[in-house]
Amino acid sequence: MLIVDLVKLVELSPLSNAVKRTCDVLRLGASKQVSDYEERFSSLRKLYDSLFSNFVRMGFSPKEAFETAQEFFGTPNVRFAGVDGTMYSRPLFDMVVFFGGAYASTGNIVFNADKKPTVVYDERIMGRAAGISSVVPIYVNEIPEVDQAFFETSQPGELSLGKTLTEESIINNATVANWIMTFAEYYLAYKLATDAEQNIRIILMDRSLSIERASLLYDTSNRALCKAKCNLLGYKVDGEPIDINDLTIARQHVCNELLSVPPPRADYLRYAIISLLKRRGALTEKQILTEFGITDEKRAGRVSRSLKYLVGKDVLREKNAVYSLNPKYARTWEHVRKLVTCLGDRFFFTDNPETANLMKIVKNGKEHWLTTLDIAFLTLFTLHMLMEECWNRRILLIGVTKDTAARDFKRQLIPIMHNSDLLKTPISQEELERLPNTDRMILQSASILNPEKILPPWSLIEYDSAFRTMVPDKQKRRGYISGAIKNKIGLEKTFLKTYVQLSQAKTDPMLRSNVLLVDRLVYPEYDYRPETVVEFWNELSDGTKEPVEVILFLDKDVPNKVQNLVMNVLVAMAPSNIPEAFGHNTPLFIADKIAKWNYSQFKRVVDTTAEWILNNHKLRRFVFYMSTFRERRTAIEAARREQI
């Protein structure tokens, strides 16, 4: 009897009951979410006067922007470019065709002393716009050898037996097209920055620069995987092969002496030593400590251990207690720059490459695939080259992100400032927890709930992107911070980030554009000042205490010339007559349209090629076997649906 009752309990419900249950669960879940957000929104009204009023900047001066443009660019009439990308992939019989490209819209922006800047876009933009792209066909069975999405990180070099490698899973999870597009966007931006004829002085990208760099560093961080899967190793530049030390050094090659970057702390200490010896020549350990301003015994011990490590890796040479950089690695960055431009030009500009596939290189007389790991390295190096050009030529580099789930303003910046007594009005952890989940939603809601106090265009104060990797000290010590993951803190004084809201409707002030995440390159002459620098302390696992110097505009009253300049640029470029781009950026919107047009053209070419193959009488006998079951089924179902 008990067994019969159990069978009845697990008996399948009718379909109508299953649909009803799904609807009830969804309704209950949605109702709970609505109630939760109502509670979170109510806390925002109370926090404006005590918290947000100190952080929100409004009233950006055109006159100040005009003067800053004269200082920064040397002229009030400046060329700009907005860069966006596109990608496409399609199975074609037993291979997949990957396409990626990047395109730019260009024009001039003229800063005025008495009104907002005037923006003029280049005419005949579809014919004159800059753009690069590449197409790569790869056999399905070769994709796991090329795409790092299928690499076995725990056993580099070994075949991954734990991942499903069916044809469908390979095609669905392949990331080759995305990597080509990402590389194309940064390479096009670099080409624009170095083109003397174009003389571009403002570059806008549809990406978060600081997050992208952190992501690229993570993708290239597994040294064992690099040795096994990186085919850039051994590739010769000026007759000298690239080795693992070259890649390791170039990964962190963000050098700006005016900003003291890289800093002599934590994981950056080795690169700070390399950078110092490259600039100053041979030095003793004592001289190195003096250059870094290190007097603490434990920090000095870390310098000593780093020197021994670098000597062991043959990066440094030591003679009579004097350290110098191995001449090979003194040329690393020069070689890496040549490597990137050589492979980048070949990938995006060469019509007749030396290999049959653009993703193959010739090394030691044999063809090798460029894996997506290789492309990640090339993309990271290109970003570093772009940053270097922007510093050298005073190019304003800005990243604009439409949709973001970032939470560092709520979860990192405010708690750290609170813990170090940097807030004018303290805020409890309970009050923070009651706020909406993401920074964008917090600020979007605060704007709507305080329409008379927060008037677009407005911007949050700018703060160092390194805050994203920091958390308050676990012991609650004033002035101390820890790394968010394994006590590691990202590179400081490189990018500044903020959130902006650019537009509101004239007829309805409550109708406002989305809040955007904006980050930009740090410019030492404007951003690195005593009133904008805050020093925290980080205690390492061995008890060493190291200073972490970050850039933070503590409140809206701290002067920020570059932010005022950037906001004048973004407001002038925010379209008022394009509904789908309301409050966004016109150059990026135009670049996106150009990218979509090129996407449609390439898709048409690939689809037409597939049709040509299918209808080629020479291949008719083989086409049935060349196509997959899924392709045959799709073709038959499509034919069945056609109207006769």
Determine, yes or no, domain membership for 531: yes
Same domain, 414 and 308: no
> Which residue type does 156 have?
P
Whole-number pLDDT of residue 162: 57
Determine, yes or no, domain membership for 147: no
Residue 378's φ and ψ, nearest 5 degrees, are: -60, -40
Each residue's pLDDT tens digit, 114-157: 999 999 998 866 555 678 998 898 888 888 888 888 877 666 66
**What's the mean per-residue pLDDT of the chain?**
88
Determine, yes or no, domain membership for 286: yes
For residue 4, pLDDT beyond 60: no
> Which residue type does 158 have?
E
| Average pLDDT for 90-98 | 84
Q: Which residues contact 83 (CB under 8 A, 6 or more apart)?
A: 102, 103, 104, 185, 188, 189, 192, 203, 204, 205, 206, 588, 591
Q: How long is the chain?
A: 644
Distances from the Cα of 195 to the Cα of 198, 230, 442, angstroms = 5, 30, 41
Same domain, 311 and 444: no
Same domain, 423 and 556: yes
Determine, yes or no, domain membership for 514: yes
CATH number at residue 285: 1.10.10.10
Question: Domain containing 326: what range?
Answer: 262-330
Whole-number pLDDT of residue 244: 96
Rounded CA Rg of the chain: 28
Q: Of 564, 584, 608, at which residue does a domain stop?
A: 564
Determine, yes or no, domain membership for 165: no
- Find the helix or strand (DSSP H, E) in which 499 lies: strand 495-501
Whole-number pLDDT of residue 53: 86
Same domain, 436 and 302: no
Determine, yes or no, domain membership for 548: yes
Whole-number pLDDT of residue 6: 46
Per-residue burial over 205-223, b if 16 or more Cβ lie within 10 Å, else e, is bbbbbbbbbbebeebbebe
Of 85 and 45, the one with more pLDDT: 85
Same domain, 409 and 325: no
Each residue's pLDDT tens digit, 193-238: 999 999 999 999 999 999 999 999 999 999 998 998 899 999 999 9
Of 439 and 3, the one with more pLDDT: 439
Residue 520's φ and ψ, nearest 5 degrees, are: -145, 165
Distances from the Cα of 82 to the Cα of 192, 344, 530, angstroms = 10, 20, 33
For residue 432, pLDDT beyond 50: yes
Same domain, 553 and 463: yes
Alpha helices of 99-142 — where are they, by DSSP H? 125-128
Same domain, 420 and 548: yes
Determine, yes or no, domain membership for 591: no
Each residue's pLDDT tens digit, 570-626: 999 998 778 888 889 999 999 999 999 999 998 888 888 777 766 666 665 565 555
Distances from the Cα of 109 to the Cα of 73, 122, 308, angstroms = 12, 11, 52
Q: How many structural domains comprise the chain?
A: 2
Distances from the Cα of 302 to the Cα of 269, 323, 569, 571, angstroms = 8, 16, 45, 48
Each residue's pLDDT tens digit, 447-468: 888 888 899 999 999 999 999 9
Each residue's pLDDT tens digit, 25-40: 877 777 766 666 666 6
Of 366 and 578, the one with more pLDDT: 366
Same domain, 413 and 544: yes
Measured CA to CA, the distance from residue 566 to residue 583 in angstroms comes to 15
Q: Of 307, 330, 353, at which residue does a domain stop?
A: 330
Determine, yes or no, domain membership for 299: yes
| Average pLDDT for 69-75 | 97
> Which residue type does 361 have?
I
Q: Which residues contact 424 (CB under 8 A, 6 or more apart)?
A: 54, 555
Whole-number pLDDT of residue 40: 64
Q: Of 304, 330, 356, at which residue does a domain stop?
A: 330
Whole-number pLDDT of residue 339: 96
Whole-number pLDDT of residue 589: 94
For residue 15, pLDDT beyond 60: no
Q: Which residues contact 189 (CB under 8 A, 6 or more apart)?
A: 81, 83, 102, 104, 203, 205, 386, 397
| Average pLDDT for 338-343 | 96
Same domain, 417 and 322: no
Each residue's pLDDT tens digit, 492-542: 999 999 999 999 888 888 889 999 999 999 999 999 999 999 999 999 988
pTM for this one?
0.91
